[in-house]
């Protein structure tokens, strides 16, 4: 089955995430991506072939929408490149997203190195061969 993968980045890291998605487009294309609005728009521009839907922008509730999807069991993997050097008006939402991802044990990558390890592990490809009733 395809995975549902949340893709989120703060402004300073958006180009990095778009570049990562472009570099890993072949592995990502069979899966469903859910991005916060601005991150999603940048990824869509870099890789139009990806199946990407968007929620609201992070500061307008997008992090919380993705958090709610995590609570519902609808997110299999989260790739989130946060900016650790800039204060955010929606810091509490970012914290809530991280907390709920930990509560539900969602596999997460917070930088390019870890995102590469996850793709390199074959997790995305393995998931495709799994069936719902397996």
121 assigned binding-site residue: no
Nearer to ligand 13P, 27 or 37 (CB): 37
Residue nearest to ligand 13P (CB): 58
Nearer to ligand 13P, 56 or 127 (CB): 56
120 assigned binding-site residue: no
Reply yes or no on whether 63 is catalytic. yes
90 assigned binding-site residue: yes
DSSP 8-class letter at 58: G
Catalytic site residue from 63, 76, 91, 105: 63
Q: So which residues are the catalytic ones?
A: 63
- Residue ranges for the known binding site are 10, 14, 57-58, 90
- Residue ranges for the known binding site for substrate are 10, 14, 57-58, 90
């Amino acid at each position: 089955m395809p995975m549902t993968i949340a893709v989120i980045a703060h402004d300073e890291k958006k180009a990095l995430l778009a570049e990562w998605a472009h570099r890993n487009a072949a592995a990502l294309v069979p899966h469903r991506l859910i991005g916060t609005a601005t991150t999603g728009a940048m990824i869509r521009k870099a890789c139009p072939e990806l199946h990407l839907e968007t929620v609201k922008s992070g500061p307008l509730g997008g992090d919380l929408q993705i958090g709610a999807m995590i609570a519902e069991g609808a997110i299999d993997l989260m790739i989130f490149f946060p900016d650790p050097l800039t204060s955010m008006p929606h810091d509490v939402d970012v914290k809530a997203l991280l907390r709920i991802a930990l509560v539900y044990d969602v596999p997460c990558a917070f930088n390019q190195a870890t995102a590469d390890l996850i793709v390199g592990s074959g997790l995305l490809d393995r998931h495709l061969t799994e069936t719902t009733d397996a």
